[in-house]
Structure 1
Amino acid sequence: MAFYQLGMDGCRNLEAQTQIPFLQRDEVVDGYADYQGYAIKRSESGGWRSASFILVSGSLERFAYFGIESNLISYLTGPLGESIATAAANVNTWIGVASLVPVFGSFFADSFLARYQAIILASVIYILGLGLLTLSTVPTSLISVSTFQGRDIVAQILFFVSLYLVALGQVYKSCVQAFGADQFDGNHPDEKKAKSSFFNWWLCCLCIGATAAHLILHYIQDNINWGIGFGIPFIAMTIGLVLFQIGNRTYRFSARQNDADEILNESICQRFIKVLPAAEDSGEAITTKTNGAKIFLRLLPIWSTCLTYTIAMAQVSTLFTKQASTVDRSLGPSFSIPPASLRAFIALSISFCIPIYDQIFVPIARKITNFSTGITMLQRMGTGMAISVMNMVIAALIEMKRLKTAKDFGLVDIPNAAVPMSFWWLVPQFTLIGLTDVFILVGSQEFFYDQVPTELRSLGISLYFGAVGTGNFLSSFLISAIQKATSQNGRDGWFSDNLNRAHLDYFYWLLAGIGIFGFVLFAYLAKSYDYEENAPKENFQP
């Protein structure tokens, strides 16, 4: 009996000695470290605790960005006195640059800098650009449009230089989103589901910032002072950077990204060309030699089809806003909504739909499909593309009604008079843009993040922004080419400064046709696409 008791005590001691290290190993998040480079425990880091700092700072960044982007065409056609076609092309070009910068910047960040350092550097450039932008607008905000034209060239140069510094700071977008997703361990079942939700809530929180910009900043810019309207984003971005840094002690840093010596000593090609880990197929171990370059080439066809959607989306910042400036925007006897503020319906639509999608649709779809995300990422993207086509059709029909109303009331040659048509007629096309984003924006960002090696995920997310940028460049080219072709021999053209004689409806029909072509091609490509990391094969069903 004493021998038995001794044996039992020995087993308990052995169990205690082996259990404690096992539990410790179980708590440590493999592949990640804290801000000092030490191993980090799951219970003390990452998750929604860390993501909350990132979501709030990201919301403030979007408040700053949309405070500039959404009303930029009003500033160009107002204080700077540009024509609608020129201003639309300039806005599309700037948004194109701002959207392509994350691609190259994220590549540099993934090659030489850790994502965290890239976020800090981009934030500083961003804040510098916003500060200079504010200074450049101060003279124009104190001078009337008529007296400003032809004067203060230095202020104009400073304006565009600072504007493109803001574009350069957009490296922030892809890096901070990838860094936020890194706070969830994809190998842990609960955190894997939370990571998918993070992309949904990321968009929702960004919409809060965008909505505030649309409702507050645009009114200040249009009715009070452009200098103040551009200065507030500068303050918001500065606060966002401070809040982001407060979360340092809770963040999970990729162990590879955290190793500065290894990052600096490795060339771009070595960082870009990665050998994926060995995989096991049909019980036989095989070593896959797929590298990063081949993965990106494999994603290229899917990426190219997204351009048909982003060309249509580019009109939100330009033609949708100018279209809104021509209708009755009054609320009550003495208040008129700024044209750019109608974009608040995009953010409100997203904020309304994201919780429904994440908390109701996904759990129901998960039970049917057995996918952790409810529907696959490509199915989500395809649904968004279909909604985008429908939206352009609706936009074309609404513009036809607006033109008919202007003709019926004899306002064709009075461009400054508001067409007696309520702004509520335009709300559907703004609202559907938000619904489209819920599907294709979130789906594509999650898709490109998930389908590239861990070390290149900032670059993966930036592929979506690259599609947006390229779409804006293509939109700028289309507008310039079409205006040149349709305005010959003294004709007004599709993009006449007098929108009552323009034909935005023709352009919207053209974009709907381009969208249909892109959707059909996307559906064909999605059918044969095989996900990385043994994910289920895509069978896209429109």
Structure 2
Amino acid sequence: MEFNEEVVLIEGKVDWKGRPATKNKHGGMRAALPVLGSYMWIFVASTFAFENMANLALAVNLVTYLNALMHYDIADAATHVTNFMGTNHILSIVMACVADAYMGRFKPVVIAAFVECLGLALLTVQAHSQKLKPPLCNIFLPTSKCEKVSGGNAVLLFFGIYMLAVGGAGVKAALPSHGADQFDEKDPKEATQMSTFFNGLLLGLAVGGSVSLTCFVWVQVNKGYDRGFGLSLIAMFLGAIIFISGLPRYRIYVVQGSSAITELLQVYVAAIRNRNLQLPEDPSELHETPILDREAATHHEFLPHRDVYRWLDKAAIRSNETEPPNPWKLCRVTQVENAKIFLAMVPVFLCSIVMTLCLAQLRTFSVQQGVTMNTKLTNFFNMPPASLPIIPISFMLILIPIYDQIFVPFVRKFTGIPTGITYLQRVGVGLLLSSLVMAVAGTIEVKRKNIAKHHNMLDAIPVFQPLPISVFWLSFQYFVFGVAECFTYVGLLEFFYSQAPKSIKSISSCFLWSSMAAGYFMSSIMVKIVNHATKGVTKSGGWLAGNNINRNHLEKFYWLLSILSLINFAVYLFVALRYKYRPLSLDVEDENEVHQLKILNPSMEDL
């Protein structure tokens, strides 16, 4: 049988039958398409697009659903939604650990997708049956004393919602890294395609989101939440089926059989235990696994020693003990370098939290602003307030292809960077824009409230008497945030995936979802803190308390977030300027490299 260089084992990847994955049959952009949802100008129905299609309409309209049908106050409804979104994202870390250490990255996506389907099915049944909801009541009437959902019905509601959180966490944890696994970072062509994949990932979200925010939201508002949730169920089911259909073409990551998180913890523990030891002047004296043969070499990743976070190097100091080395007291240089990289990413992760804190407001309070405004587009069509995020999504549908196919190749000629600008530069642009978003949002809220005061409509019931101001005034804040999302979230996803050790790609990708989770939880906390600190300012008990948004001080809350975002950006600049990018791993691919690694010092300082 004749072999060429295309028919070779791609390191750490197999096909669905466990056979070696080959470049000519598996992976690449073709295999990533079922993960993307769309690629360039062509819409391809696929998993991430359908997953976002199923859930975005529910996320943006859930505050209204909990407020109008389940009779929660606006602040309580917003808190429930941000808690749900936070749980959805924070669980992705748990799912990623399971994926990287035990199940691989394909199976968790399939299981999670069907868990989401079950959660949507429960919500659909509850929305359809009046027996499973509280008695009908108009919560906007000041004299109404509406009964909130309670007992078994409340259990059913939150069980369905948090099944969505668990399922969504599994998809977010494993799907992006599974898609990136289809590319070989050592191949220059595929490395460039991987950057395009991450841009396409956001484009897939935008395509699915645009359908969700138009068709699905319209159905929820005009035909009933039961039908809207039912459409989401169908979309999620189709997404799962399409993802499974790509199985014969996938490169599937081979689980290494050990927990990468444990290896990182071993470094931190060993460094603490060895804190009193003296570091050698020559880093080559630090411990590294010797390479005895080609087979042993192919199972290890090797990183050169770097002169950063030197206190962690103490984890690799050899002792004179004769017994077998304790992994909690002696670690490899490469293991230590991975721990350094992971630690260096933490400040970037922390700086990205405030961005999601701002996003949470656009998915909760901004939608409630839209409820009070004139939503007429024509004499025959009204735009549901929950569909407002279609504005940044529409812009992203245009911006992402332009960025990927025009901006990046043009800038690459001057910078020599494959992605045009660095990951951290891209993130920084988005973080700066997030401050501008909140400043614009506060200004628009002042205008909206002035209209209400001028027309003596501060106590108007939105359902019957919307304010004489178009809902499209909110498009300014959504537009700016759409640009910020394009830069920040794709930049973060690329940054975390590219910088992470091979064995924790899913976990590091989940840094993005975890920062979003922290942002949503922080939103809930901030709402409570602000209400408590300002309870003497308004009759309702705080800037954001009560059901009458016209009597609240949402504009001051937005400006507070704008100042917080600006401070966060200043901190980010300090962090980004000090960050040192991960060096390329020293992979063993031929006999010459094996020989070189045998004779060079263990820490590979000179490589």
1:37 aligns with 2:37: no
Query: Structure 2 vs 1, CA of residues 113 and 489 (structure 1 numbering), >3 Å: closer, same or farther?
Result: same
The Cα of 1:442 is off from its aligned counterpart by 0.2
1:166-181 correspondence runs (5 A): 166-170=164-168, 171-181=170-180
Counterpart of 1:10 in structure 2 is none
More helix by share: 1
- One-letter code aligned to 2:96: S
- Unaligned 5+ residue runs, structure 1? 1-16, 536-542
Q: Counterparts of 2:528 and 2:57 in 1: how far apart (Å)?
A: 26
For residues 167-187 of structure 1, the C-alpha deviation after alignment (integer angstroms, 9 at most, x for no partner) is 011221121111001111111
The Cα of 1:235 is off from its aligned counterpart by 1.2
Q: Counterparts of 1:267 and 1:175 in 2: how far apart (Å)?
A: 15
1:466 aligns with 2:466: no
TM-score, with structure 1 as normaliser: 0.89
Q: Helix, strand or coil for the counterpart of 1:395?
A: helix
Counterpart of 1:446 in structure 2 is 494
Question: For structure 1, which segment, 140-149 or 338-347, has the greater mean C-alpha deviation from structure 2 after superposition?
Answer: 140-149
Counterpart of 1:399 in structure 2 is 445
Q: Counterparts of 1:490 and 1:427 in 2: how far apart (Å)?
A: 28
Q: Helix, strand or coil for the counterpart of 1:169?
A: helix
Q: Helix, strand or coil for the counterpart of 1:482?
A: helix
The Cα of 1:113 is off from its aligned counterpart by 1.1
The Cα of 1:346 is off from its aligned counterpart by 2.1
Q: Helix, strand or coil for the counterpart of 1:44?
A: coil
The Cα of 1:486 is off from its aligned counterpart by 1.9
Between the two proteins, what is the percent identity of the paired residues? 31
Question: For structure 1, which segment, 295-304 or 458-467, has the greater mean C-alpha deviation from structure 2 after superposition?
Answer: 295-304
Q: Counterparts of 1:243 and 1:151 in 2: how far apart (Å)?
A: 37
1:222-237 correspondence runs (5 A): 222-237=221-236
1:54-93 correspondence runs (5 A): 54-55=35-36, 56-93=46-83
Check whether the contact 1:136–1:156 (CA below 8 A) recurs between aligned residues.
no
Query: Structure 2 vs 1, CA of residues 329 and 58 (structure 1 numbering), >3 Å: closer, same or farther?
Result: same
Q: Helix, strand or coil for the counterpart of 1:230?
A: helix
1:145 aligns with 2:169: no
Counterpart of 2:324 in structure 1 is none
The Cα of 1:433 is off from its aligned counterpart by 1.5
Counterpart of 1:354 in structure 2 is 400
1:367 aligns with 2:413: yes
Match of 2:505 among 457, 479, 495: 457
1:182-261 correspondence runs (5 A): 182-254=181-253, 256-257=254-255
Query: Structure 2 vs 1, CA of residues 468 and 111 (structure 1 numbering), >3 Å: closer, same or farther?
Result: same
For residues 362-401 of structure 1, the C-alpha deviation after alignment (integer angstroms, 9 at most, x for no partner) is 0111011100000000000000011111111111111111
For residues 284-340 of structure 1, the C-alpha deviation after alignment (integer angstroms, 9 at most, x for no partner) is xx9534265443322111111111211111112101111111111101123211110
The Cα of 1:281 is off from its aligned counterpart by 7.2
Q: Helix, strand or coil for the counterpart of 2:129?
A: helix
Query: Structure 2 vs 1, CA of residues 311 and 146 (structure 1 numbering), >3 Å: closer, same or farther?
Result: same
Counterpart of 1:46 in structure 2 is 27
Query: Structure 2 vs 1, CA of residues 139 and 381 (structure 1 numbering), >3 Å: closer, same or farther?
Result: same
Query: Structure 2 vs 1, CA of residues 159 and 32 (structure 1 numbering), >3 Å: closer, same or farther?
Result: same
The Cα of 1:145 is off from its aligned counterpart by 2.8
Counterpart of 2:103 in structure 1 is 113
Query: Structure 2 vs 1, CA of residues 27 and 379 (structure 1 numbering), >3 Å: closer, same or farther?
Result: same
Q: Counterparts of 1:266 and 1:341 in 2: how far apart (Å)?
A: 42
For residues 495-519 of structure 1, the C-alpha deviation after alignment (integer angstroms, 9 at most, x for no partner) is 1421111111101100001100110
Check whether the contact 1:400–1:505 (CA below 8 A) recurs between aligned residues.
yes
Q: Helix, strand or coil for the counterpart of 1:40?
A: coil
Q: Report the aligned-residue RMSD.
A: 2.4
Query: Structure 2 vs 1, CA of residues 342 and 114 (structure 1 numbering), >3 Å: closer, same or farther?
Result: same
Q: Counterparts of 1:489 and 1:370 in 2: how far apart (Å)?
A: 55
1:130-529 correspondence runs (5 A): 130-140=120-130, 145-146=136-137, 149=147, 153-170=151-168, 171-254=170-253, 256-257=254-255, 263=257, 269-270=262-263, 277-280=301-304, 287-290=333-336, 292-416=338-462, 417-488=465-536, 491-492=539-540, 493-496=542-545, 497-529=547-579
For residues 206-262 of structure 1, the C-alpha deviation after alignment (integer angstroms, 9 at most, x for no partner) is 1111111110111111121111111111111111111111111100012x32xxxx5
Q: Counterparts of 1:368 and 1:488 in 2: how far apart (Å)?
A: 57
- One-letter code aligned to 2:147: Q
Check whether the contact 1:273–1:292 (CA below 8 A) recurs between aligned residues.
no
Counterpart of 1:5 in structure 2 is none
- One-letter code aligned to 2:176: Q
Counterpart of 1:129 in structure 2 is 119
Check whether the contact 2:303–2:337 (CA below 8 A) recurs between aligned residues.
no
Q: Counterparts of 1:128 and 1:494 in 2: how far apart (Å)?
A: 38
1:3-22 correspondence runs (5 A): 21=3
- One-letter code aligned to 1:220: V
Query: Structure 2 vs 1, CA of residues 376 and 252 (structure 1 numbering), >3 Å: closer, same or farther?
Result: same
Counterpart of 1:13 in structure 2 is none
Q: Helix, strand or coil for the counterpart of 1:81?
A: coil
- One-letter code aligned to 2:136: V
Q: Counterparts of 1:185 and 1:272 in 2: how far apart (Å)?
A: 28
Counterpart of 1:540 in structure 2 is none
Q: Helix, strand or coil for the counterpart of 2:334?
A: coil
Q: Counterparts of 2:250 and 2:495 in 1: how far apart (Å)?
A: 23
Q: Helix, strand or coil for the counterpart of 1:420?
A: strand
The Cα of 1:357 is off from its aligned counterpart by 0.6
The Cα of 1:194 is off from its aligned counterpart by 0.4
Question: For structure 1, which segment, 271-280 or 198-207, has the greater mean C-alpha deviation from structure 2 after superposition?
Answer: 271-280
Query: Structure 2 vs 1, CA of residues 281 and 392 (structure 1 numbering), >3 Å: closer, same or farther?
Result: same
Check whether the contact 2:72–2:148 (CA below 8 A) recurs between aligned residues.
no
Q: Helix, strand or coil for the counterpart of 2:469?
A: strand
Q: Counterparts of 1:239 and 1:32 in 2: how far apart (Å)?
A: 27
- Unaligned 5+ residue runs, structure 2? 37-45, 139-145, 268-287, 289-299, 307-331, 586-607
The Cα of 1:156 is off from its aligned counterpart by 2.5
Q: Helix, strand or coil for the counterpart of 1:30?
A: coil
Check whether the contact 1:392–1:509 (CA below 8 A) recurs between aligned residues.
yes
Question: For structure 1, which segment, 439-448 or 65-74, has the greater mean C-alpha deviation from structure 2 after superposition?
Answer: 65-74
TM-score, with structure 2 as normaliser: 0.79
Check whether the contact 1:70–1:340 (CA below 8 A) recurs between aligned residues.
yes
- One-letter code aligned to 2:544: F
Q: Counterparts of 1:480 and 1:446 in 2: how far apart (Å)?
A: 34
Check whether the contact 2:305–2:337 (CA below 8 A) recurs between aligned residues.
no
Q: Counterparts of 2:245 and 2:433 in 1: how far apart (Å)?
A: 40
Q: Counterparts of 1:101 and 1:226 in 2: how far apart (Å)?
A: 27
The Cα of 1:202 is off from its aligned counterpart by 0.7
For residues 335-361 of structure 1, the C-alpha deviation after alignment (integer angstroms, 9 at most, x for no partner) is 211110111112112111101110111
The Cα of 1:415 is off from its aligned counterpart by 4.1
The Cα of 1:121 is off from its aligned counterpart by 1.7
Check whether the contact 2:538–2:552 (CA below 8 A) recurs between aligned residues.
no
Q: Counterparts of 1:150 and 1:433 in 2: how far apart (Å)?
A: 34
Q: Helix, strand or coil for the counterpart of 1:43?
A: coil
- One-letter code aligned to 2:23: R
